[in-house]
């Protein structure tokens, strides 16, 4: 069996170390080992060849056109093997770090990824929900296995107080970053 690879998508000047990592960026940063625009599909990697992917503050920069973003989600699914883990770290939508960068075009949330879950899509259909069933429409299946919200340093004193989650729903800049772990599910895995 061929050894699987890992992709650091949009590595910028922070590549992942080790020969198993394919550090990808569309700009020649001198830190990537694959110069490629991830908005261009299909990607140059084989089906089921990737067992881990990292989008470290990069996914919010891609797919301003929803059609492009949906193709990216299909490509992630295609190149990843069953059980692959996708790490997505991004600025929280209600934080100045998200709004302060004019190249941020895609808010990232666990709720967004639920739309790409076959299990969730079936529940939406069973309940006559109006949710978009992208898992069924695109032939993909992802499961959110971890959703970590990182407090802004100015609110670190609240970390042991459960009220910070309520506060974060009404006040900006409480949550600085979201860290998701998403699992690829392929029923017909080899």
In this predicted model, what pLDDT tens digit does every residue of 142-187 receive, in sequence order?
Answer: 999 999 999 999 999 988 988 888 888 899 999 999 999 999 999 8
Strand partners, 143: 183
Q: What angle do CA 25, 28, 29 make, to 5 degrees?
A: 85
Mind listing the pLDDT tens digit for each residue in 64-104?
A: 999 999 999 999 999 999 999 999 999 999 999 999 999 99
CATH number for the region 5-184 comes to 3.40.50.150
Q: What was the pLDDT predicted at 3?
A: 72
Q: Is the pLDDT of residue 116 over 60?
A: yes
Q: Is the pLDDT of residue 1 over 80?
A: no
Q: Is the pLDDT of residue 109 over 60?
A: yes
Q: What was the pLDDT predicted at 162?
A: 84
- Beta-sheet strands, E only, within the chain: 5-9, 21-25, 34-35, 50-56, 80-91, 142-151, 175-184
CA 69 to chain centroid: 11
Question: Which residues lie closer than 8 Å to 156 by C-beta, 6 or more apart?
Answer: none
């Amino acid at each position: 069996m061929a050894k699987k690879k890992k992709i650091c998508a949009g590595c910028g000047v922070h590549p992942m170390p080790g020969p198993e990592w394919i550090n990808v960026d569309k700009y020649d940063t001198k830190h990537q080992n694959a110069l490629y625009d991830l908005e261009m599909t299909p990607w140059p990697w084989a089906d089921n060849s990737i067992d881990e992917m990292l989008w470290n503050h990069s996914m919010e920069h891609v797919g301003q056109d929803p059609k492009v973003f949906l193709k990216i989600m299909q490509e992630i699914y295609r190149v990843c093997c069953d059980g692959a883990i996708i790490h997505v770290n991004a600025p929280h939508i209600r934080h100045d770090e998200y709004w302060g960068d004019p190249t941020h075009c895609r808010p990232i949330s666990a709720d967004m990824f639920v739309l790409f879950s076959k299990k969730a899509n079936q529940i939406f259909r069973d309940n006559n929900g109006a949710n978009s069933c992208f898992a069924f429409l695109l032939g993909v299946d992802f499961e959110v296995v971890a959703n970590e919200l990182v407090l802004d340093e100015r609110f670190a004193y609240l970390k042991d107080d459960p009220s910070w989650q309520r506060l974060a729903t009404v006040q900006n800049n409480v949550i600085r970053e979201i860290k998701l772990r998403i699992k690829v599910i392929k029923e017909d895995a080899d």
